[in-house]
Amino acid sequence: MSQPQSDDDGLLDHCPWLYAEQASEGQRAAQEQRQKRLLGVAGAGAASVRLGEGCFVAETAAVYPEHLSLGDRSYIAAHAYVTGDIRTGADCTINPFTVVRGTVTLGNGVRVGAHSSLLGFNHGSAPDLPVHQQPVTSRGITVGDDVWIGSHVVVVDGVTIGDHCVIGAGAVVTKDLPAWTVAAGNPAHRIRDRRDPRRPATRSAAPHPAQERPALVGELSAFAAAARAQAAGLLDRCWQPDSGRYVDRPGAEPTVRAHCDAVEIAELLLGAAPPQLPAAEHTARLRALQDPVTGLVPEFGSAPPLPGPAGLPEDGASAYHVLCAGYALDLLGSSFAHPVHTVRTTTAEQLVGHLAGLPWSDRAWHAGAWVDSWATAAHWNLRLGTEAAVPGALEALFGWLHTHADPWTGMWGSPTLESGRLQMVNGYYRLTRGSFAQFGLPVPYAERVIDTVLDHARDARHFSPGRENACNVLDVIHPLWLCARQTTHRAEEARSWASAQLSTALRRWQPGRGFPFGPTPDGTGPGRDPGLQGTEMWLAIIWLLADLLGFADALGYRPRGIHRPEPAPPAVRTA
């Protein structure tokens, strides 16, 4: 049975899906004239407007494009406002009162709800010009196939929405969304995968730990009490009275890091300096290690390190000493004696050039570790009341990081055939620890980071029994913990992983000896013997795991050094 014809032009303008079945001959003739006028719109010409078979454009729609290409059976409904370079696939709908402007590309089968805005352009906001005189930029909006954008949604310039997504009414989409995402909110965040039949996650607070896992809370409390009781002994085990230095574990060589790890462990478990020396002596010895010319800290018995082209060596102990020695002194109530001069004299051009040349593709951990050390050196310089670097360099760092983060992984770097996502995830931890986390800034693409990290955590090469080590576990839990402060994306999965890791981690403690670091791929390093490095790292890991689960209070300690959860304070410190 055929549909009755409609003589109400307003009905078809507002409900254009009725046009194919209900339009009268007169209405079809009027629509043909409407489309001819579009094809001849002033300044456009036939080559700039293409309308597929079965399209409809409402008479009351304001359509003034630079280029318009509508796929077959697509329509623009009443009072829509369409300008710029607009291209759609087949079966797309721009519903009443919708705004589509700038550079916007829609795939096939895209439904855009009424009163939504897809704004594929932006104004500058520099302070030197009024807003109305600012230049206009356009990165464009790209929407994949089979996407439903609900009513009153706003999508801003530069966003890509993957295939099969659903965007809830009223959402403000400011970041890319991968395929199959169901998103909502302002700013829009992932609720679930469209293919997942489970109910969407909510933003409700995690259950109180005493209600959810009283046994684990008791286990955490008992572990922390035992660790505190044994702390002085395990520090003494790694103290060499003859040399007056610490070793990571008996039989190893003394290192600067071992001394710094001892300070971190003592502060965490004892709330004081390591008992082998008075606090003032610890401070004096660590301050004396700094080379006054470069501001860097060499290893015991080594010459002052040579700075790299952007202020720091590419790798090695002296780069890490910027972190560990600086925070050990901070825990002792002191600071470096000198600024890190090699970073203080770095220009924005030097820094950006060096960032671009770091080995992101195959050695992302080394690249991220360099950023961690450089940003931490800049932080210590600010704490001493000097310039972090040449003006503009610190801003250039964050600008480069923001513009080079991969919107699909949230990270810098790429997977490798040999180790999968290990390099990029471990590099992400080091990079964000020293930059975004230390300076109290939100990380870009937090939900994509969680996706990448959880996928990496399933890699049996690094997370099967007997293969986990402190570095790999820390480099998963810290990004999960950090991003959880910005989003509830996949929170249940993150908590499930943390719960399993926490139970395993607690069993690694060896009475009177501490934690082993864990196996390393090449068999070198701290390995399976308990030592200061493994103990310092696993204590922080356990806190992060417990805090993600809501149980950290049971430990009675909170990291304040390298792994501090709060941004580092900017106040100037004195000796």
Per residue in 425-464, pLDDT (tens digit) is: 999 999 999 999 999 999 999 999 999 999 999 999 999 8
The pLDDT score that the predictor gives to residue 101 is: 95
pLDDT band at 205 (very low <50, low <70, confident <90, very high): very low
The pLDDT score that the predictor gives to residue 574 is: 37
Q: Which CATH class, in words, describes the domain spanning 209-555?
A: mainly alpha
The percent of residues in the chain predicted with pLDDT above 90, rounded, is 71
Q: Of 14, 67, 79, 123, which one is the catalytic site residue?
A: 123
Interatomic CA distance for residues 255 and 300, integer angstroms: 6
Cα torsion through 383, 384, 390, 395, rounded to 10 = 0
Portions of the chain given CATH number 1.50.10: 209-555
Portions of the chain given CATH number 2.160.10.10: 9-193
How far, rounded to the nearest angstrom, does the alpha carbon of residue 42 sit from its chain's CA centroid? 46
Dig out the tokens for 386 from the structure.
Answer: 């000097």
The pLDDT score that the predictor gives to residue 308 is: 82
Closest C-alpha to 391, from 461, 358, 344, 356 = 344
Please compute, for residue 257, the number of CA atoms within 13 A of its CA located in the half-sphere on the CB side.
21
Of these ranges, 51-65, 114-128, 265-279, the one predicted with the greatest mean pLDDT is 265-279
Closest C-alpha to 555, from 223, 111, 255 = 223
Q: Are 427 and 413 in contact (CB under 8 A)?
A: yes
Cα–Cα distance list, 453 to 125, 231, 338, 411, 447 (Å): 35, 33, 38, 10, 10
Q: What is the pLDDT of residues 13-46, one digit of tens each?
A: 888 888 888 888 888 899 999 888 888 764 444 4
Q: Which CATH number fits domain 9-193: 2.160.10.10, 1.10.390.10, 2.40.480.10, 3.40.50.300?
A: 2.160.10.10
The pLDDT score that the predictor gives to residue 215 is: 75
pLDDT band at 206 (very low <50, low <70, confident <90, very high): very low
The pLDDT score that the predictor gives to residue 395 is: 94
Peptide bond into 187 cis (omega under 30): yes
- Please tell me the pTM assigned to this model: 0.65
The pLDDT score that the predictor gives to residue 80 is: 94
Interatomic CA distance for residues 64 and 62, integer angstroms: 6
Interatomic CA distance for residues 70 and 56, integer angstroms: 9
pLDDT band at 157 (very low <50, low <70, confident <90, very high): very high
Greater pLDDT, 97 or 185: 97
The pLDDT score that the predictor gives to residue 75 is: 94
Does position 535 have pLDDT exceeding 50, yes or no? yes
Sort 493 into a burial class: Cβ within 10 Å, 0-12 / 13-18 / 19+: middle
Helix (H) or strand (E) run with residue 141 in it: strand 141-143
Which of the residue ranges 11-15, 242-246, 332-336 would you say has the lowest mean pLDDT?
11-15
Q: What is the pLDDT of residues 89-142, one digit of tens each?
A: 999 999 999 999 999 999 999 999 999 999 999 888 777 888 888 888 889 999
Interatomic CA distance for residues 323 and 486, integer angstroms: 25
Interatomic CA distance for residues 226 and 83, integer angstroms: 68
Interatomic CA distance for residues 20 and 447, integer angstroms: 42
Does position 421 have pLDDT exceeding 90, yes or no? yes
Q: What is the pLDDT of residues 340-370, one digit of tens each?
A: 999 999 999 999 999 999 999 999 999 999 9
Does position 523 have pLDDT exceeding 80, yes or no? no
Does position 525 have pLDDT exceeding 90, yes or no? no
The pLDDT score that the predictor gives to residue 381 is: 94
The pLDDT score that the predictor gives to residue 265 is: 97
What would the mean pLDDT of 297-310 be, rounded to a whole number? 89
CA pseudo-torsion sign 283, 246, 535, 411: positive
Q: Are 93 and 74 in contact (CB under 8 A)?
A: yes
123 is an active site residue: yes
Q: What is the pLDDT of residues 463-514, one digit of tens each?
A: 988 788 999 999 999 999 999 999 999 999 999 999 999 989 999 999 999 9
- For the chain, give the number of residues: 575
Beta strands 75-76 and 136-137, pairing class: unpaired
Does position 304 have pLDDT exceeding 80, yes or no? yes
